[in-house]
Amino acid sequence: MAKVKKTPRPKAETPKGFRDYFGAEVAERKAMLDQIGAVYQLYGFEALETSAVETVEALGKFLPDVDRPNEGVFAWQEEDEDWVALRYDLTAPLARVYAQNRNELPTPYRRYAMGPVWRNEKPGPGRFRQFYQCDADTVGAPSVAADAEICAMLSDTLEAVGIPRGDYVVRINNRKVLNGVMEVAGVLDPSDPDKFAHERGIVLRAIDKLDRLGVDGVRALLGAGRKDDSGDFTDGAGLSDAQAEVVMGFMSAKRENGAVTVARLAELVEGSKVGAEGVAELETIANLLNVQGYGPDRIEIDPSVVRGLGYYTGPVYEAELTFEILDEKGRKRQFGSVAGGGRYDDLVKRFTGQAVPATGVSIGVDRLLAALRAKGRGAAETAGPVVVTVMDRDRMGDYQAMVAELRQAGIRAEVYLGNPKNFGNQLKYADKRCSPVAIIQGGDEHERGVVQIKDLVLGAKIAENASLEEWKSQPAQREISRADLVAEVRAMLGSQS
């Protein structure tokens, strides 16, 4: 007889680059996003949840640093031949939504969005292909008051989730000032915006790498170029010494407060119309924030902020955490950026032909969660449930009645529902569940109208450190009247916290 060919068992694995989130991880992120959402609400922002799937046409090719359409996204062809894809960020869908509903939506439209996005990139350690973003944007507000508002909101948000004042700074710059500096340095010609685009790209990237390359590295990239430690050579922008000095002066233009920095920037862009505009905008933002009490201890003007190479057209901003952590090699370094954004005026125009001013911020959800954990400010772990053990399978109803009473009192509780034969397994289970309290009632206790109540937190402590005296004087388990169950459990939970 021919052997029946068995179908091989499927592998129980997430696809490469994807992961699952369990219990405390889900609760911790939810708690943080709830706090962020409350601040956004307070500022008048409205929630928006767009579909995860967009047409490739609507998404466009706006993924930062990727030029080819579809590159970097998960896309597939529908039966009707249209191509659709998973959203790669929350900004492209916002542009689509605003264009689609602009007659019904209020203008300005303040909206926030939280949810997963997907990137079809090579997965690596800590690099996932699905991750959360949390954005807030104002569409249809030309005034830089909208940018100032988002910076203030970002500052409030960081404090609301648990980053204390002094441990973060929101830094603001303006692309127009940068363009003014380029004009003064002679690498931007207002009458021919495309001229020197290559050189400007090198300059922008160099400034963006100031943290990593230091002043000398950036200076080299502005000029002839730079050889890195590995011996690789990066072409420079080919600026003359005089030109390079203008740019270097810009990067170090930050002064003791906003007013002085703005004055210094005004000198640097003298003669450039766009530069003067940018300086005036920064001044307006600084004044608006000052009058609301957001001083340089929270928000500062910092000319070294560039924010990538994308579509920003005016103010750009980022939130940096300034406390130190140890990197993977045990060296101290600042935690760094957890949020960034800026003004972009062309995203909606793709759909409607009309420029619509917009500005917004994106918080790196996983980065900020990591920061909270580093500060020991992660959401308190969800307390494990009280576990009612099963000594007598036939009295399951009695045990269920106990958890029902506890739950009615608002106490998280469950009956052990595995095979009750081995009592040790029940206590191991309670341990795995991080249970604070276990309840035990055998037939004898049942007859006498009592239960055993076991303090698992104290029990663990005693098992670890206690002297014999303490062990004797602080019994982790005692007998109580069945009628006092809820009151005694509540008291025990109270004494643990």
List the interface residues with a second copy, window 299-328 (CB under 8 A).
none
Is residue 330 a contact residue for a second copy (CB under 8 A)? no
Among 36, 54, 137, 454, binds a second copy (CB under 8 A): 54
Contact 370, 132 (CB under 8 A): no
| Cα distance between residue 289 and residue 164, in whole Å | 19
Q: Please, what is the minimum distance in Å from the beta carbon of residue 399 to a second copy? A: 9
Among 1, 2, 4, 12, binds a second copy (CB under 8 A): 12
| Cα distance between residue 55 and residue 412, in whole Å | 45
Among 334, 419, 474, 481, binds a second copy (CB under 8 A): 419
Tokens 């998973």, located at residue: 86
| Cα distance between residue 177 and residue 497, in whole Å | 54
Among 1, 5, 15, 329, binds a second copy (CB under 8 A): 15
Question: Residue 312: which of 112, 423, 177, 165 has the closest Cα?
Answer: 177
Query: Which 241-280 positions form the footprint of a second copy (CB under 8 A)?
Result: none
To the nearest 10°, report the CA torsion of 73, 84, 118, 60.
60
Residue closer to a second copy, measured from CB, 367 or 433 = 433
Is residue 108 a contact residue for a second copy (CB under 8 A)? yes
Is residue 142 a contact residue for a second copy (CB under 8 A)? yes
Residue closer to a second copy, measured from CB, 19 or 195 = 19
User: Hey, what are 390's tokens?
Assistant: 């099963």
* Residues in contact with a second copy, shown as a per-residue x/- string from 63 to 102 under the rule CB under 8 A: -----------xxx-x-x-x-x-x------x--xx-xx--
Q: For residue 325, what are the CA distances in angstroms to 161, 333, 373?
A: 19, 6, 11
Question: Residue 177: which of 34, 343, 40 has the closest Cα?
Answer: 343
Q: Please, what is the minimum distance in Å from the beta carbon of residue 114 to a second copy? A: 9
Among 210, 374, 401, 493, binds a second copy (CB under 8 A): 401
Is residue 426 a contact residue for a second copy (CB under 8 A)? no
Query: Which 145-174 positions form the footprint of a second copy (CB under 8 A)?
Result: 145-146, 148-149, 152, 156
Burial class (CB in 10 A: 0-12, 13-18, 19+), 6: exposed
Q: Please, what is the minimum distance in Å from the beta carbon of residue 132 to a second copy? A: 10
Among 58, 203, 347, 438, binds a second copy (CB under 8 A): 58
| Cα distance between residue 62 and residue 308, in whole Å | 13
Residue closer to a second copy, measured from CB, 405 or 445 = 405
Residue closer to a second copy, measured from CB, 58 or 457 = 58
Is residue 418 a contact residue for a second copy (CB under 8 A)? yes
Residue closer to a second copy, measured from CB, 112 or 250 = 112
Dihedrals φ, ψ of 367, to 5°?
-60, -45
Query: Which 199-238 positions form the footprint of a second copy (CB under 8 A)?
Result: none
Question: Residue 247: which of 190, 195, 192, 203 has the closest Cα?
Answer: 203
Q: For residue 410, what are the CA distances in angstroms to 205, 385, 400, 415?
A: 56, 11, 15, 16
